[in-house]
Structure 1
Amino acid sequence: MGIKAREAVNFLGLIVITATFFVLNGYWGSMVIALPPPEDTPEEILRTQIIIEARSPIDGRFLTAAEYIQVQAQLQQVPPPKLDPKIRDQIFLLRLRKTLLQFFPFLNF
């Protein structure tokens, strides 16, 4: 390979590297465009705003803040489910059977 051919390859490599740099530099500048518009309210400010009206999670009607707190407190106080002991035993046995069948699939009971 001659000296002129080597210089041509080096020059071509320099052109490719320079073109790649300018193309990538153009993409980096476009990332700034992805910012939200200045009139958009930042999330940090929205999180500090006090909510004075809300909707009921039960039927969707509008509630005041005090009514909403009362509804949320009522929903938090869920009574423990009362299940018949016979049904509870049947569920336990079904779960036990399912577990045993996973380990011993040849059992058919």
Structure 2
Amino acid sequence: MLGVTIFIFTVLTSTVLNFQWGAKTIALPPPEDIPEEILRTEIITEARSPIDGKILTAGEYAQLKAKIQERTFPPKLSPRVRETVFLLRLRSLIKQFFPFIDI
């Protein structure tokens, strides 16, 4: 009999607590929040420069992107820098196959 009353008490307590906690989680967002659907359709008229982070208009941003895309070729490097890069790549390749060699 004591077990049945404890069971009933537990069920009633959990039911009451669920109703109290559930009310807090079903709340709607505040009315001043702009819905995500509206934010997705908003036209962006300004952007930030990928180079220095300055605020640009849409036209300036388009010009900057076009200017950046024109530079598709790699920049010219001095022969000494090219040789150094080649040797570093060769060193990393050798270290993969022979990790015990101190280069």
Superposition TM-score, scaled by structure 2 size: 0.71
The corresponding residue for 2:37 is 44
Mark the structure with the bigger radius of gyration.
1
Residue 36 of structure 1 aligns to a residue whose secondary structure is coil
Given residue 31 of structure 2, which amino acid in structure 1 is its aligned partner? P
The corresponding residue for 1:87 is 81
Say whether the 8 Å CA contact 1:56–1:71 is kept in structure 2. Answer: no
Given residue 21 of structure 2, which amino acid in structure 1 is its aligned partner? Y
1:101 aligned onto 2:95: yes
Report the CA distance between 1:86 and its aligned residue.
4.8
Given residue 81 of structure 2, which amino acid in structure 1 is its aligned partner? I
Q: Distance in 1 between matches of 2:14 and 2:55?
A: 59
Call closer, same or farther: CA 1:91–1:19 in 2, change over 3 Å: same
What is the aligned length?
100
The corresponding residue for 1:76 is 69
Q: What root-mean-square deviation, in Å, do the aligned CA atoms of Structure 1 and Structure 2 show? A: 2.5
Call closer, same or farther: CA 1:38–1:74 in 2, change over 3 Å: same
Listed as ranges, the gaps of 5+ residues in structure 2 are none
Give deviations 1:45-104, integer Å, cap 9, x for gaps. 12212233x2551462553x3233212222233342223455334313212312432442
Given residue 63 of structure 2, which amino acid in structure 1 is its aligned partner? Q
The corresponding residue for 1:28 is 22
Q: Distance in 1 between matches of 2:19 and 2:62?
A: 53
Report the CA distance between 1:16 and its aligned residue.
1.0
